[in-house]
Structure 1
Amino acid sequence: MEIRDLTPDDQDALLDVRRRSFGPVPPAEVESWRALAVPDLNEGRYLGVFDGGRLAGSARVRGFTQWWHGRPQPLAGVAGVTVNPEYRGRGVGTAVMRAAVGRATDLGDAVSALYPATTPLYRATGYEHAGAQHLVTIPTEALRAIKPAGDVPVRRMDAGDAAEVVALLHRLHGQARASGPISWDERTWARRLAREDDFLYLAPDGYAVYRWDGDRMRVDNLVAGSQETARALWSLVGSASSVAKTVTAVLAPDDPVRWLLRERSVEEVTMVRWMFRVIDVAAAVERRGFPAGATLDTTVEVEDPVRPGNTGRWRLTVSGGRGEAKALSADAGAGAGPALRINGLSALYAGIPTATLRRTGLLSGDNSHDEALDTAFAAQPYMLDYF
């Protein structure tokens, strides 16, 4: 079998394997799918496994920005991992995932994430469960009861506002010290903001993207940097209460709307899990944000069967909101510290507590720095977007 970049000439074969893996693509969506795929095909972000001239499997490495404790960095979003039915069980999925990790490295990404259809394949290539997309069902009348505070200018937005939305996300996720959310690039945002059936509103420090979903409303994105803007945008969504009885909203775990509601008891929440991987230990730690008051100085032993450059002993230090991972030689005099496979390090990076990692076998060895590790990497990761 051969692994190579896919090109626009491979679109028919790619669409066929996608259909056999995920089900039929509605005719109305085919042209849109082709248009969205072309830029990634031209940029070397689609990989295919071929058996002779037949496409056996594929993967897409999408380019995003992701925030960790308020600091943005490039993210390799792996999507569209497909294997034709006649090639399943023959290592095609593992081969294309290893190639995707390698391509992410070539593109300069130090971290990667994906939404898994199955866990074992991705764990075998170093990914571990980290966060979720939270879909919360709220009575529309409860949102209507959120009264605006102050005069917040809100206007309709369109594709021409893509750059402003990207800049706004950088500012708001940074201010909130958010961990996990992603942003599409300006080109993709322009396409999203051109969709006719979405309701799109922009304020000076926030925006909302929502639409009808059957007989209810669906809020895909609503981000606000102040109480006044949060009230204005959620009240706007709630204005549909005479027709739509409920709203399904994609929310951060600590989204302010949960505290703006007059009543809150039993909540209907669906979580769509995503997995995460550190691809380059040194760059990932250097690019991550950390709590300003956290301090850490420990040695860890990392094993990464897919990326040998990550395997070995590392000195992890955190101070003043910045971190560093420095590779140590085999004969370095530093004492033995905790040991992790890359899956465990990835989960730690995403804020999974050391106690959880130890009880699941993802972390072993010296525990004297566990509390400092928890403080430094503390996070409640989430995503608003599915890819």
Structure 2
Amino acid sequence: MKKNFRATIGQATAKDGPEIASLLSWAFGFSKARSDEYIANVGLGSLRLLRGERGEATACAALLETAQLFHGRPVCAANIAHVAIAPERRGQGLAIPFVDGLCEEARRKGAAIASLFASTRPVYRRSGFELAGHEIVYEAETANLPAASKLAFERVELDDPRIARAYAEKTTREAGLLARCPAHWNELRRKPTDALAAYLAEGAYLILDMGDEARLDIRDWYAGSPEAAQGLLSFLARFRSVYPVVRWHGGPQDDLVAAMPDKGWRLAHQEEWLASVLDPATALKQRGYHVRDARLALRIGQAALEIEIRAGTVEVREATVPSGPTVALQAPAFVQLFTGFRSASKLAQYGQVAGDAADIILCDQLFAGPPPWVAEHF
């Protein structure tokens, strides 16, 4: 932070709306209408301002209370979203203390991890964030979609509770997906709502954005079986006379891609989100695991935690002198291991994990699962 520059972090109030709108516009090119909509969608209670010594707003961000699911278990989490710094204050080192303050607040409120998308990764790495999962957008020609299916879709309201229940089921089958808070759902259903439509079928749903003549955007979707994925794609094929392509968020091992012909799809966008483990012991205890019985000590920097799983019940305790299987790793490697972004074996190849070969294999088994991803950009 610039020498002699004093700043405080506080919750936004109604009178801060114009300043927040300006910061969002300067940082992300939001229109006035889009800024106002975003503020309404996330709520003033979720917005934080970094203020200078004269009370001026120098930065803003949303702090969203949520959970991220790993192997079917929710880990209390916070999303730090849309960090916007005033142009005249950029390059003065404000981002690190601002994000550190947001992480400390999140930790006090019970978050075990925090996640964000970073425009400048080195800055956030200095605050303990590391690559943790994927955001992937796929694209397919609608003419290439399979056209035959018996799955019947019905038009439903955007806030039909069956959609939220189906999404909750989806989170248990993947790794890293959010237990969406109202802000996430509000942004998912953002304007123009007259171009949005939701469709529901047995084991599947779609929220479609038909506001762009160049392509059909899937705002959200779920297919609970291979048959449902085929049916979902076949339903989308009905739009081929209007939209040449369709796009959707998906995982590295994507259910819709698996239901497509070999060459019927392509990557339209890919980037990674970052995470910081705010409370390692709590995060390890809340996470689900691939094995039902195991014991392993993780030496993270100078600290050591022992994970013991008996019949699926997890205990985590400090282990000053680990006596059993042990692997050693630094904090950045621990983040990647925790989310499943990289395995212990791969991190060992990079020189970031050390231990006996058998212990590293045990660590691989413990944290095995589908690769982590998120279904939205927060």
Tell me the TM-score normalized by structure 1. Answer: 0.86
Distance in 1 (alpha carbons) for counterparts of 2:32 and 2:199: 30
Distance in 2 (alpha carbons) for counterparts of 1:187 and 1:21: 20
Q: Is the 8 A contact 2:209 2:216 kept in 1?
A: yes
Q: 1:196 — aligned with what? A: 194
Q: Is the 8 A contact 2:296 2:325 kept in 1?
A: no
Q: Match of 1:51, SS?
A: coil
> Structure 1 residue aligned with 2:327, among 315, 334, 338?
338
1:292-311 equivalences in 2 (<5 Å): 292=291, 295-303=293-301
Distance in 1 (alpha carbons) for counterparts of 2:235 and 2:59: 44
Tell me the TM-score normalized by structure 2. Answer: 0.87
Q: What is the letter of the counterpart of residue 122 of structure 1? A: Y
Q: Which runs of 5+ in 1 are unaligned?
A: 304-310
Superposed CA deviations along residues 166-206 of structure 1, whole A, max 9, x for unmatched, are 222222332x2x10112422565266447221221122432
Distance in 1 (alpha carbons) for counterparts of 2:7 and 2:92: 14
Distance in 2 (alpha carbons) for counterparts of 1:25 and 1:280: 34
Q: What is the letter of the counterpart of residue 378 of structure 1? A: A
1:139-288 equivalences in 2 (<5 Å): 139-143=141-145, 145-149=146-150, 152-161=151-160, 163-174=161-172, 176=173, 178-186=174-182, 188-189=184-185, 192-193=188-189, 195-212=193-210, 213-264=212-263, 267-288=266-287
Q: Is the 8 A contact 1:59 1:96 kept in 2?
A: no
Q: Match of 2:52, SS?
A: strand
Distance in 2 (alpha carbons) for counterparts of 1:374 and 1:340: 14
Q: Is the counterpart of residue 2 in structure 1 residue 39 in structure 2?
A: no
Q: Match of 1:196, SS?
A: helix
Go from structure 1 to structure 2 and tell me whether the alpha carbon gap of 1:187 and 1:34 turns closer, same or farther (over 3 Å shift).
closer
User: Which structure 1 residue ranges, 4+ long, deviate > 6 Å from structure 2?
Assistant: none
Q: 1:384 — aligned with what? A: 375
Go from structure 1 to structure 2 and tell me whether the alpha carbon gap of 1:302 and 1:47 turns closer, same or farther (over 3 Å shift).
farther
Q: 2:26 — aligned with what? A: 20
> Structure 1 residue aligned with 2:139, among 137, 140, 144?
137
Which segment is superposed worse, 198-207 or 368-377?
198-207
- What is the CA distance between 1:235 and its match in structure 2? 1.4
Q: Is the counterpart of residue 357 in structure 1 residue 356 in structure 2?
A: no
Q: Is the 8 A contact 1:292 1:319 kept in 2?
A: no
- What is the CA distance between 1:325 and its match in structure 2? 2.4
Go from structure 1 to structure 2 and tell me whether the alpha carbon gap of 1:358 and 1:25 turns closer, same or farther (over 3 Å shift).
same
Which segment is superposed worse, 97-106 or 248-257?
248-257
Q: What is the letter of the counterpart of residue 147 of structure 1? A: A
Q: Match of 2:30, SS?
A: coil
Q: 1:324 — aligned with what? A: 315
Superposed CA deviations along residues 76-129 of structure 1, whole A, max 9, x for unmatched, are 111121222322333211001111111111221112211111111111111111
- What is the CA distance between 1:367 and its match in structure 2? 5.0
Distance in 1 (alpha carbons) for counterparts of 2:80 and 2:306: 29
Q: 1:348 — aligned with what? A: 337
- What is the CA distance between 1:348 and its match in structure 2? 0.5
Distance in 2 (alpha carbons) for counterparts of 1:164 and 1:342: 40
Distance in 2 (alpha carbons) for counterparts of 1:15 and 1:285: 38
Go from structure 1 to structure 2 and tell me whether the alpha carbon gap of 1:210 and 1:282 turns closer, same or farther (over 3 Å shift).
same
Q: Is the counterpart of residue 114 in structure 1 residue 116 in structure 2?
A: yes
- What is the CA distance between 1:216 and its match in structure 2? 1.3
- What is the CA distance between 1:366 and its match in structure 2? 5.2
Q: Match of 1:267, SS?
A: strand
Go from structure 1 to structure 2 and tell me whether the alpha carbon gap of 1:216 and 1:299 turns closer, same or farther (over 3 Å shift).
same
Q: Match of 1:171, SS?
A: helix
Distance in 1 (alpha carbons) for counterparts of 2:220 and 2:330: 35
User: Cα RMSD over matched residues?
Assistant: 2.5
Q: What is the letter of the counterpart of residue 317 of structure 1? A: E
- What is the CA distance between 1:71 and its match in structure 2? 1.8
Q: Which runs of 5+ in 2 are unaligned?
A: 1-5
> How many residue pairs align between the two structures?
367
Task: Give % identity.
Answer: 22
Distance in 2 (alpha carbons) for counterparts of 1:182 and 1:337: 31
Q: Is the 8 A contact 1:258 1:264 kept in 2?
A: no
Go from structure 1 to structure 2 and tell me whether the alpha carbon gap of 1:365 and 1:62 turns closer, same or farther (over 3 Å shift).
same
Distance in 1 (alpha carbons) for counterparts of 2:202 and 2:183: 21
Q: Is the counterpart of residue 61 in structure 1 residue 50 in structure 2?
A: no
Q: 1:306 — aligned with what? A: none
Superposed CA deviations along residues 46-98 of structure 1, whole A, max 9, x for unmatched, are 24242322222233211233211122233211112122232233321100111
Q: What is the letter of the counterpart of residue 126 of structure 2? A: A
Distance in 2 (alpha carbons) for counterparts of 1:64 and 1:184: 6
Q: Is the 8 A contact 2:58 2:89 kept in 1?
A: yes
- What is the CA distance between 1:241 and its match in structure 2? 0.8
